[in-house]
Amino acid sequence: MSQARVRALQNGINIGLRFCITKRVIRITELVEMHIPDGLMDPVIALTGWIEFLVVAAVALFLVRTRVKDKDLPRIAVLSAGVFVAQMLNFPIGGGTTGHLVGGALMAIMVGPVVAILGMTVILLIQGLMFGDGGMTAFGLNAVNMAVIAPLTGWGVYTLIKPIVSRKDEKPFGPGTAIAVAAGAWASVFLAAAACAAELVVSYAISGGTYGIAATVSVPAMLGYHTVIAVGEAIITAGVLAYVWSISPGVFAREPVATTKAEGLRGILHLKTTQATIAVLIAFALALPLYFIYSAEGADGLEKTMSDAEVEEGGAVFSSPFSYGENYFAALFAGILGFVVTALAALGLLRILQGVKAAD
Amino acid sequence: MIVAHVRGHRVMAEGLDEHAKSSWLSGLDARAKLIGILAFVVATSLLTETRLVLASLAFSVAFAALSQVPPGHLARAYLSALPFILIASVSVFLFAGYERGLDMWARTSSCVLALLVLASGTETFELFAGLRRLRMPAIITTLLMLTYKYILMMSEELSRMTVARKARGFAGGRSLLDRRGIKVISYTAGMVFVRSAERADRAFDALTARGFDKDMRGWRRSKIAAPELSFVAWFVTVSVILMLLQLGVSP
């Protein structure tokens, strides 16, 4: 190759690289997000999402009606609008990419999970109806991911972790609270993304590729990206709460503290730790129908291959109580999720037991 | 996605309600539009046969063309909703082949387009009033209306603060490790909340003073007449035909 051609090639590469860097030709942020459009998910999964969402929404509406007064409505609306606007504010991640808030944890930690479920639902409705962000048949799934799982996990993790990491005499927003908030926010985004990825994978598996996205793409794309995004969410959520709670602590009242002390089972149910444990468990339980649909309708790849090739399966020497899922990624993330949820549930149980002992 | 969001909001801010008032589509009762278009969206998201999906897309495009919504506006709104559609169809394209990818793109695009025409061809509050008349719980529609009102208020607040930030030399921060940048951004978000809270209370007081009592009523008298019925009939017929053809194709 002549020297002139080499130089021309180098120039070409240089110009291309510079173009990529300055123009940010591919913005990953625009490609990976959580709003599922219509027609992407298998109808069975979309229907499951709707059913789950309607059940949760009915319970949330009932609880809100008994707790929220009319004059609280504008404050809830402001909070929803604020989260919506905060979603428009992007933060830098590095390398020219940016991310933005989901806001479920922020809202739940500010006003409690029940109001947050309602507020996030309203945000998603506006996005779906007005801006084409997220479809209507997929609304149930979107709402389950971002309006139910995200606030429940965020608030649950925050409430469970806070007593451990913060001291009793801490200032309104000390380092302990910051850590708890950050952990809640991180977990909320990660779990929501994991749920979204799981829905995509199951859709793909049960529809034979007509709907959904293959696990090899969706799991690393959704989870890899959101693991990083969630760090941003954690930092920004902590920052926003530090600001709001220190500048005007009264603006958004933290959830009302139970004044009456109840006894027995009711007493345990009134403990915040109990509620937080339940919240985390609900967030996790929402994923179960997906698993059942998957195991009922999706044929195992190996079994299918074997039956196609008319190979008989021999008796298993040892059968594991858990299946390893479709592939390595699925297994890995199922493992991580299972670990986190079990740890949190155990933590919650321990704290409840301690609380009961202390009350005795 | 955030960029997409901002783009979408700019599109919505361009006085859309102004021209929404003048078209035949905006004259229809919001309930009829909601029912017809949702039926079509549900039917379309169930289609798997390529020709039918393309037919559905063609119907959406024809509806968009007939709706008198400015095509430039629709195109920009569609572009802002495009990213997730694109990653889905491209990955399907790579893993399951050309036809499946095309199906995916056409199916999602058809639904998104129909919904965008619905949003653009209806005054926002008429849309919410339509939802209320379709028996959505009052607390949700009221929150929808208030939230939408406050979103407009707060995005102005945010854009004013963004200008102020830029004027002081803030360029957006470099990465998550840039402490100062992150601090500025999170305090900006916090400030939006604090500043808007008071204004929101005042806005709510103003609404109450004008006779707002927690449940919304549309400005116009709602009626279901011949145009509404024919609109619903039109959409439901198309949806049913698409569904029947789909059932005929796949056993």
CATH number at residue A290: 1.10.1760.20
Highest mean pLDDT among A281-285, B93-97, B168-172: A281-285
d(CA B14, CA B74): 12
d(CA B98, CA B116): 27
| Residue A209 touches partner B, C-beta closer than 8 Å | yes
d(CA A261, CA A245): 27
Kindly report the average pLDDT of chain B as a whole number. 81
d(CA B56, CA B62): 10
Beta-strand relationship, A90-94 and A97-100 = antiparallel
Q: B134-138, B201-205, B213-217: lowest mean pLDDT where?
A: B213-217
Position A314 pLDDT exceeds 60: no
Tokens of A268: 């345990």
So what's the ipTM on this one?
0.86
Query: Which pLDDT score, from 0 to 100, does residue B8 have?
Result: 43
d(CA A89, CA B170): 14
Measure the CA angle with vertex A229, ends B146 and A237; round to 5°: 50
Query: Which pLDDT score, from 0 to 100, does residue A356 have?
Result: 59
Rounded to two decimals, what is the model's pTM?
Answer: 0.81
Would you place residue A16 in the very low, low, confident or very high pLDDT band (cuts 50, 70, 90)?
Answer: very low
Position A118 pLDDT exceeds 90: yes
Would you place residue A318 in the very low, low, confident or very high pLDDT band (cuts 50, 70, 90)?
Answer: very low
Q: Which of the residues A31, A35, A63, A88 would you substitute to probe the B interface, choosing the one with the greatest number of B C-beta atoms within 10 Å?
A: A88
Secondary-structure breakdown of chain B: helix, strand, coil percentages, each rounded to the nearest 5: 80, 0, 20
Q: What is the mean pLDDT of residues B90-97?
A: 74
Q: Which of the residues B84, B112, B117, B243 would you substitute to probe the A interface, choosing the one with the greatest number of A C-beta atoms within 10 Å?
A: B84
B182 with A123: Cβ contact below 8 A: no
Q: Which domain holds residue A69?
A: 32-298+322-359
| Residue A126 touches partner B, C-beta closer than 8 Å | yes
Domain for residue A246, yes or no? yes
Query: Which pLDDT score, from 0 to 100, does residue A259 have?
Result: 46
CB A182 within 8 A of CB A238: yes
Amino acid residing at B100: R
Query: Which pLDDT score, from 0 to 100, does residue A121 have?
Result: 94
pLDDT per residue as tens digits for the range A235-260? 889 988 888 888 877 666 554 444 44
Q: What is the mean pLDDT of residues A280-297?
A: 77
| Residue A94 touches partner B, C-beta closer than 8 Å | yes
Residue boundaries of the structural domains of chain B: 2-122+223-249, 138-209
Which DSSP string corresponds to A194-240? HHHHHHHHHHHHHHTTSSS--HHHHHIIIIIHHHHHHHHHHHHHHHH
B112 with A37: Cβ contact below 8 A: yes
Q: What is the mean pLDDT of residues B16-21?
A: 54
Domain for residue A1, yes or no? no
Query: Which pLDDT score, from 0 to 100, does residue B109 have?
Result: 92
Q: Which residue of A has its CA nearest to B10?
A: A131
Looking at the 3D structure of chain A, how many domains does it have?
A: 1
Chain A neighbors of B197, CB-CB under 8 A: 75, 78, 248, 251-252
Please indicate whether residue A28 or residue A159 has the higher confidence score (pLDDT).
Answer: A159
Return all residues near A52 (Cβ < 8 A) that are at least 6 apart: A140, A144, A148, A286, A289
Query: Which pLDDT score, from 0 to 100, does residue A252 have?
Result: 67
A73 with B214: Cβ contact below 8 A: yes
Give the CB-side neighbour count of residue A320, counting CA atoms within 13 A: 4
| Residue A331 touches partner B, C-beta closer than 8 Å | no
d(CA A230, CA B198): 30
Position A123 pLDDT exceeds 80: yes
Return all residues near A242 (Cβ < 8 A) that are at least 6 apart: A173, A178, B186, B190
pLDDT per residue as tens digits for the range B103-131? 889 999 999 999 999 988 888 888 888 88
